[in-house]
Structure 1
Amino acid sequence: MADIIQLLPDNIANQIAAGEVIQRPASAVKELLENAADAGATEIKLIVSDAGKALIQVIDNGKGMSETDARMAFERHATSKIRNIEDLFRIKTMGFRGEALASIAAVAQVELKTRRAEDELGTYIEIENSLVTKQEPCACAPGTSISMKNLFFNVPARRNFLKSNAAEMRHIVDEFIRVAMAFPGIFFSMSSNGQELFHLEAGSLKQRIVQVLGSGYNAKLVSVNEETDYMNIYGFVGKPETARKTRGDQYFFVNNRFIKSAYLNHAVNTAFDEMIAKDSFPSYVLYIDLDPSQVDINVHPTKQEIKFEDEKIIYAFVQAAVKHALAQFSIAPSLDFTLNAEIQGLDAVSKPFTTDQKDAASSSNLFKTFTQKNQAHFIEKNEKTDLKHWKDFFTSPAQEQNNAQRSLPQQLQTVEPRPRALHVLPDTTLLQLHNTYIIASSNSGFLLVHQQLAHERILYERYGIAAHGQQMATQQSLFPVTLELAGADAALLTDLLPDLLAIGYHVEPFGNNSFVIQGIPADVTPGNEKNAIELLIEQFKHFSSDIKFSKREKLIRCMARQQAIKAGQTLSQKEMLVLVEELFTCSSPNVTPTGSPTYLEFKEDYLDRMFGR
């Protein structure tokens, strides 16, 4: 019987390895930018076309490579950063595994131009499918220029799984910003399809943060700087007013390497306890320097998740450093005992209390009731008393009903009754329990309706109809609101604009990472447009589900969850009635989009059995 185990050809082995390192265009961008930074460059330029699918080019003015090094760089496990096993535990550079360029060469068409400063001529290499197709001397500037074209051209299945250009561009911008943040002393630029998106001059860390996150942060950053024998932590946190509904402006770097750590993020959040709302996230750019032997960065292919030798010490240091910074810069909340200038200017404060005014006040019945003996038991019976108009503070029942109608949420003011299986008894009084549940008598017992989940189902079906053809009405904003986002969030919102328009949000791009909210859905109360969009982006980014929903489906679910009236909100009789009526006109009134029940039905015979009848 013939042997069946065979060695894979190099090009196939490289393609398999590439699947771990190069998952999308942004993965290649990260590796190439980190290599440029490791080469000692002071200027790094990133050029992309077609969201990196057609071209990714990184140009640096680093130390360049010799002819032999240029050829060797594309071999698997070839690296200049590791000589022995001990080096793995004291890594201070960025890329280090020696697989990045080999992986890129396995799934793209690569062109390399490189020259050392001491060499007269550089080296030009073309590689396709892991094979060198051309190598020759060339004239070029000192440093390295590497271009990868037609990503996954030889793995069409992988190419088909790439997302839309806007989505892939968002990931590329993410990676670019992370490397640019790690090296503020290096000039970075980024161009996409011939248009420059970023031009970041070399400067201080604060200058780089303001360049990337926007000038609004210039006066809203608090410096963090703590040095110990074990570790150093430095950087900036945003003042509480910069807290946002999205996690976009949060960056942790360990030994200049961007990391994701929910554990350390929690340390920063707890340092902001009682300074920001619970559903908001603080902004920060923090750098941790510690002995490389105390951290293992090779636990994840992207090297964004790392393992500390003692996480609890790092957690305590981070939390203490942020708390100390906030206290040092008097950010912690305090009572203000100074009198407002406007109050000081009032007649009652600035002008003297004349004798005539004093006599008039002391002669009034109201003054007497508070100065006579046993005044707590004294009630003036005289019809002419000053207290006779106390009833005017309260509205009549008719006025109360009108006020309730005016305060009714717009999305609950109209209902078109349609046939339904369950019926709430007419002319019945609904009861709200704990400002969360609605108790309604039905034709067979009673219903216990969860007001938030019920409204979520109503809005989900309404937005679903709008998103699939019948566009919702938009109310134009009298004063359009400008929204500034981080680069990645801006790319995401750009991708969502057509779907947002379908459900009534009219948002237009307005310069670099800025948008103008021109209109909102007709049934949404104006005044909270900015927070609504920010929260929508946050929910969309962290949409968790085992099922792969379409982009539009995610958006509809997020919108329904966001706009639904919340548990704890007091509703009037009319609001409760409209809510229950609309729920039972839905196609699936009994569950939310996520499968939670919207109501429970208690039938009469079940109630009888409970009481032994």
Structure 2
Amino acid sequence: MSDVIRLLPDSVANQIAAGEVIQRPASVIKELVENAVDAGATDIKIFIKDAGRTLIQVVDNGNGMSETDARMAFERHATSKISAADDLFTLRTMGFRGEALPSICAISQVEIKTRTDEMQLGTRVLINASVVETQEPCACDRGVNIMVKNIFFNVPARRKFLKSDNVEISNIMREFERLALVNNNIRMSIDLGTRKMDLRAGSFKQRIVDIWKNNLDPHLLPINVDTTLIKINGYISRPENARRRNPLQYLIVNGRNMRHPYFHKAIMNCYESLIASETQPCYFLKFEVDPASIDVNIHPTKSEIKFEYEQEIWPILQASVKASLGKFGAVPSIDFTSDVLPVDPLPDGESPERPSLDIPENYNPFVEQRNSFGAEGSDSGFSGGFFPNEGRETSGRRFSSGDRHRDSVPRNWDSLYAGFMSGKGSVASKVVEGAEGEVTTLRLESAGLSGAAGSNGVLPDMEKAATIGAICFQHAQSYIITSSREGLIIIDQHRAHVRILFEKYMSQIERSEQVSQAIMFPDTLTLDPEFRVALSEVEEELSRLGFQIEYEEENRWRIAGVPAMLKDSDPKDVVLRILESVTEDGVNYGSESKVADQLSERMALAMARSTAIKRGQRLSPDEMEHIVGELFSLPDPAYTPNGNPVYCLLDPQKLESLFR
């Protein structure tokens, strides 16, 4: 048998690595900027054309490279950051694997110009899909000027699945914000063609304000903690500034952005009783730890980091956040240093006057109470006492202060239930205690169902009841449970209402009922950079659908009018939801009608999600029955417009298996 295992060519290996390291144009910017930072640059300029598809150019004033280094840098696993395995535990640089540049040149056409201080002339290298075409001397400034052209030109499938321009630009802006936030001591600028951003070098807080303008400055609370294990500094937002959409949450360790759900949960716990359940705070925190206590080599993008002492860091992080919230008055507190209220002392020998009460002699509150509710001579419809008594007179005996007999209380309890279970069209009610102690009323519409619950109190057959009237009850104030011929149905009340409202709003839009309605007190809309790009893309369609959004200043807009069907919605929340959807999923540009249809669907979904009942909201039996009826009258009730399941069905076989 011949040998079948062989070494892959470098070009193929680089393309495989590129699939992990380079996912989109924003990934290229991340790798190139981090290389510029490692090279000691103090000024980094980024130029983008066609959302990165045609050109990504990064220019820095760092140390530059020699002729040999300029060519070696594009070889796989060639790096100047480490030389031995032990160096992985003392990392102070952003890059160290030597995979980024080979991965980039494997899926694009690269041109690089570079010069060091010692060189009079620089060098220019052209690389096409990992193949070095030319290398020649050239005149250039100190540092590196690298151009990445036609990304994924030799991987058509990857290029085809890039999102629309506004989505890719939003991702580029988001990556630029992360890089600029970490490297606040470096001047950074980006030119997207349609808009530019130039950030000066400055303090951490100045960089936050420069990126997000004046949105956060008044609401930032500082944190500065220094222990032998970790040093934490940065800012958190006040509870009242928590965001429902797009919270700004950044964790940085040793100058590197990271995602860390464990530390995120520690911060969220500090805000647990201070903010609404559907909102999240903003935070910008920098950690400084011993490089030997973390492992950054666990993910191709180096965005996930493993901490050796994360259990010990948790209480330090929580204590620092809580201390900042308390110190700066973000939570209510008792001021023990304030003076007590002034009280004039009584003269010596005097005691305070006792208040006098004008109480009639032999006053008995129980006698008065009985008289007011139907004792002898009262106007009440009851013959005596508090309870009705059918066919029997009560003695009218009154309670005395020393002898509280209750013989006068009627004992004929059947009168309370007279007519309760009889009569066509009546409603029988039963009280069921839920798993969490909630008391829920089950309404059995007994139209045509004689004896729905008999004298033994047994509920009717579920399948039969489902054909005559809905039997619904609520669990955990989030789920509606009902029955059908196929089994037990558990419905997510929020998603069900979203599905119902989406169909309602879409029908109104299709009938051209989207009339604009002016707002008496316009909402102010403050947008982050990636949302500004999305708004410029869809502003015309939003106007056609009935929104009146007026520009005020650099990052502020005013919502002066909304579609009339938004009367029960928060206009600001709806607009942000639409922009978030466009930012994440993009718009597939084709004919104008197709774009309009996509935006109409997103607006309808955004409005539905904004106005639908929420999880945790208590519903009456009538409301539950109405939702169930409306849901199952739709042509496709099983899923929300974005594909989430609305309900699940437990068929008889599944139920039987649970009890075996």
TM-score, structure 1 as length reference: 0.75
Q: Do 1:110 and 1:127's aligned partners in 2 also have CA atoms closer than 8 Å?
A: yes
Q: Distance in 1 between matches of 2:180 and 2:542?
A: 31
Q: Do 2:167 and 2:583's aligned partners in 1 also have CA atoms closer than 8 Å?
A: no
Q: Do 1:475 and 1:520's aligned partners in 2 also have CA atoms closer than 8 Å?
A: yes
1:458 is displaced (CA, Å) by 1.4
The alpha-carbon distance between structure 1 residues 511 and 107, as it changes in their structure 2 partners (threshold 3 A), is farther
The range that moved more, 587-596 or 4-13, is 587-596
Q: Do 1:36 and 1:44's aligned partners in 2 also have CA atoms closer than 8 Å?
A: yes
- Secondary structure of 1:273 counterpart: coil
Which of 466, 478, 481 is the matching residue for 2:520? 478
Matched letter for residue 272 of structure 1: Y
Matched, 1:564 2:550: no
Q: Please, what is the CA RMSD of the aligned residues?
A: 4.0
Matched letter for residue 331 of structure 1: A
Structure 2 residue runs of 5 or longer lacking an equivalent are 337-355, 372-423, 432-437, 449-466, 473-479, 481-492, 586-597, 652-660
1:485 is displaced (CA, Å) by 2.8
Q: Do 1:90 and 1:292's aligned partners in 2 also have CA atoms closer than 8 Å?
A: yes
- Structure-1 residue corresponding to 2:250: 251
Q: Deviations over 1:141-185 (max 9, x none)?
A: 111111101101111111001011111111111111111111111
Q: Distance in 1 between matches of 2:303 and 2:364?
A: 70
- Structure-2 residue corresponding to 1:372: 358
1:130 is displaced (CA, Å) by 0.9
Q: Distance in 2 between matches of 1:502 and 1:466?
A: 14
- Structure-2 residue corresponding to 1:99: 99
Q: Distance in 1 between matches of 2:628 and 2:570?
A: 26
Q: Do 2:215 and 2:526's aligned partners in 1 also have CA atoms closer than 8 Å?
A: no
Q: Deviations over 1:92-122 (max 9, x none)?
A: 1111111111111111111111111232111
Q: Distance in 2 between matches of 1:150 and 1:435?
A: 64
**Correspondences of 1:354-369 after superposition (within 5 Å):** none
- Secondary structure of 1:133 counterpart: strand
- Structure-1 residue corresponding to 2:293: 294
Q: Distance in 2 between matches of 1:428 and 1:312?
A: 61
- Secondary structure of 1:216 counterpart: coil
- Secondary structure of 1:81 counterpart: coil
The alpha-carbon distance between structure 1 residues 116 and 600, as it changes in their structure 2 partners (threshold 3 A), is closer
The alpha-carbon distance between structure 1 residues 278 and 577, as it changes in their structure 2 partners (threshold 3 A), is closer
Q: Deviations over 1:231-282 (max 9, x none)?
A: 1111111122221113431100000100011111111111223222222111
- Structure-1 residue corresponding to 2:415: none
Matched letter for residue 646 of structure 2: S
- Structure-2 residue corresponding to 1:61: 61
The alpha-carbon distance between structure 1 residues 557 and 527, as it changes in their structure 2 partners (threshold 3 A), is closer
The range that moved more, 148-157 or 559-568, is 559-568
Structure 1 residue runs of 5 or longer lacking an equivalent are 338-369, 382-425, 544-549, 602-613
- Structure-2 residue corresponding to 1:400: none
The structure that has the greater radius of gyration is: 2
Q: Distance in 1 between matches of 2:297 and 2:202?
A: 31
Q: Do 1:540 and 1:555's aligned partners in 2 also have CA atoms closer than 8 Å?
A: no
Q: Do 1:248 and 1:488's aligned partners in 2 also have CA atoms closer than 8 Å?
A: no
Q: Deviations over 1:174-198 (max 9, x none)?
A: 11111111111111111102531x1
Matched, 1:173 2:177: no
Matched, 1:146 2:132: no
Give % identity.
43
Q: Distance in 2 between matches of 1:504 and 1:429?
A: 45
1:456 is displaced (CA, Å) by 2.7
Matched, 1:586 2:634: yes
- Relative contact order, higher structure (CA 8 A, sep 6+): 1
- How many aligned residue pairs are there? 523
Q: Deviations over 1:514-547 (max 9, x none)?
A: 444343342333573224444666799899xxxx
Matched letter for residue 84 of structure 1: A
1:63 is displaced (CA, Å) by 1.1
Q: Distance in 1 between matches of 2:509 and 2:439?
A: 31
Q: Distance in 1 between matches of 2:471 and 2:235?
A: 50
Higher helix content, 1 or 2: 1
Q: Distance in 2 between matches of 1:142 and 1:26?
A: 25
Q: Do 2:578 and 2:602's aligned partners in 1 also have CA atoms closer than 8 Å?
A: no
Q: Do 1:435 and 1:568's aligned partners in 2 also have CA atoms closer than 8 Å?
A: no
The alpha-carbon distance between structure 1 residues 307 and 109, as it changes in their structure 2 partners (threshold 3 A), is same
Q: Distance in 2 between matches of 1:131 and 1:286?
A: 42
The alpha-carbon distance between structure 1 residues 573 and 523, as it changes in their structure 2 partners (threshold 3 A), is farther
The alpha-carbon distance between structure 1 residues 376 and 226, as it changes in their structure 2 partners (threshold 3 A), is farther
Matched, 1:523 2:571: no
Q: Do 2:109 and 2:128's aligned partners in 1 also have CA atoms closer than 8 Å?
A: yes
1:331 is displaced (CA, Å) by 2.2
- Secondary structure of 1:215 counterpart: coil
**Correspondences of 1:32-47 after superposition (within 5 Å):** 32-47=32-47
Q: Distance in 2 between matches of 1:101 and 1:295?
A: 25
Matched letter for residue 294 of structure 1: S
TM-score, structure 2 as length reference: 0.70
